[in-house]
Amino acid sequence: MAENTPAVRGIKNRLRAHKAFAALVCAALFSAAVYAVSRFSAPFAEFWARYPGQAFRMILAKITGVLPFSLAETLLLASPLLLAWVIAYALAAYKTQPRKIHTLLRALISVLLIVVITFCIGFGPCYFRYSLAENTRLADEPVTGEPLYETALWLTENINALIPQITFGEGGESHMRYSYYELVDRVNAAYEKYAAGNDYISHFDCAVKPVSLSHYMTYTHISGVYAFFTGESNFNFNYPDFVVPYTVAHEMSHQRGIAREDEANFVAFLVCSVSDDAYIRYSGCVNVLREVTSALYKADKTLYEEYRKKSYPSAVAKEMSAYSRFFDPYRESTAAKVVSATNDTYLKTQSVPAGAQSYGLVTDLAVAYYLTNIKGK
């Protein structure tokens, strides 16, 4: 009977808590070791990203995928309230039951350890795997004006073939003729088709969740985000329709182990390009064309002007004008500057020298793809 006294039960509960915390610390140390080895060994990082890391990301996505809302967004919105509760609890415990402070600290450290584990096991090693150029056998070199011009013409040819199938509004903006949930199904189908022929990326069906506060998120200039600690891909539905399919595909590529932003952009383009849906293909081509023409302007203004005068689709020009009007209220935003600086620092810590500028490096991959797989044929 003595074994059932409150004191004995309390001791047993504390022992179980200590064991659980020790196990969590061991898991964190193991995950940190995986991350450290990945930073110094691309072959190991590639193996981890393709197999154990992919299994971890898939399981996490499947678990959180049953929720009809974004858990990551909910946690972010609840964080001020949680912080206030922690402070109030700590102050009350300090005055009455100081021992509870240790329990609280252990709980907070446990949360931090879980975040470390999910990053180091699931997503962190993906920054150090083989480059996408190596995995797709493309030349990974800076490009000049002439190949940028030719790539822009190739993308334009694809867009011109799709335009008759696209619905445009009076303001020049294109419209997606189905729901966001159907869009996710169609992008999942495109991923399944693309992954079947490319072994560096695998596919699993999963939900991609709209951010409920998308309007406010637009002030950060973020169209989507992958939350590694919940395994969720999230997208900003406030953006014009032509941005959304490409963004969904981009965030899903992170979920499948493509960490670098330029590579995620290019995988999004490749996946969109094999979709059976014309609007998804249009979204991929137009978004990459924006980057290619921007790079062309910097590389060779003469060729850029020639392209604009002779080849730039009028439908895309109207689409971009509508996009500019949409973006005007969000353009000058302090939130965007803070988020961009934070993201830039984070990316540089993950051995991405270009930082936030790496998003635009998709042009190098697009040109290499055109020269190898289109012009080279």
Report the amino acid identity of residue 350.
Answer: Q
105-116 pLDDT, tens per residue? 988 999 999 999
Rounded CA-CA distance 215/76 in Å is: 16
Q: Where are the domains of the chain?
A: 2-128, 132-375
| 367: its two tokens | 């040109």
As beta bridge partners, residue 167 has: 175
Model confidence, pTM: 0.93
Residue 65, CA distances (Å) to 181, 230, 271 in order: 13, 9, 21
Of 338, 210, 168, 182, the closest CA to residue 275 belongs to 182
Q: Is residue 268 within 8 Å of 250, Cβ to Cβ?
A: yes
pLDDT at residue 358 tops 50: no
Q: Is residue 118 within 8 Å of 229, Cβ to Cβ?
A: yes
3-state secondary structure of 167: strand
pLDDT at residue 227 tops 60: yes
- pLDDT score recorded for residue 7: 64
pLDDT at residue 136 tops 80: yes
262: Cβ contacts below 8 Å, ≥ 6 apart: 354, 358, 359, 360, 361, 362, 364, 365
**DSSP assignment string, 269-309:** HHHHHT-S-HHHHHHHHHHHHHHHHHHHHHH-HHHHHHHHH
Rounded CA-CA distance 190/354 in Å is: 30
Mean pLDDT, residues 323-347 taken together: 86
Of 248, 243, 309, 281, the closest CA to residue 155 belongs to 281
- pLDDT score recorded for residue 102: 83
> How much of the chain, in percent, has pLDDT values that exceed 90?
75
Rounded CA-CA distance 369/231 in Å is: 30
Q: Per mean pLDDT, which range of 264-268, 300-304, 323-327, 355-359 is the poorest? A: 355-359
- pLDDT score recorded for residue 185: 97
Report the amino acid identity of residue 196.
Answer: A
3-state secondary structure of 240: coil
- pLDDT score recorded for residue 231: 97
Mean pLDDT, residues 293-298 taken together: 92
**CA 134, chain centre distance (Å):** 21
53-71 pLDDT, tens per residue? 999 999 999 999 999 999 9
Neighbours of 248 (CB within 10 A): 30
| 154: its two tokens | 């190739």
Of 50, 15, 17, 49, the closest CA to residue 35 belongs to 49
Q: Is residue 114 within 8 Å of 231, Cβ to Cβ?
A: no
- pLDDT score recorded for residue 8: 65
14-58 pLDDT, tens per residue? 778 788 889 999 999 999 999 999 999 999 999 999 999 999 999
Question: Sign of the CA dihedral 305, 307, 311, 314?
Answer: negative
Rounded CA-CA distance 54/56 in Å is: 5
Of 156, 159, 176, 155, the closest CA to residue 167 belongs to 176
Q: Is residue 104 within 8 Å of 82, Cβ to Cβ?
A: no
Cα end-to-end span (Å), the chain: 83
* Mean pLDDT (the chain, rounded): 91
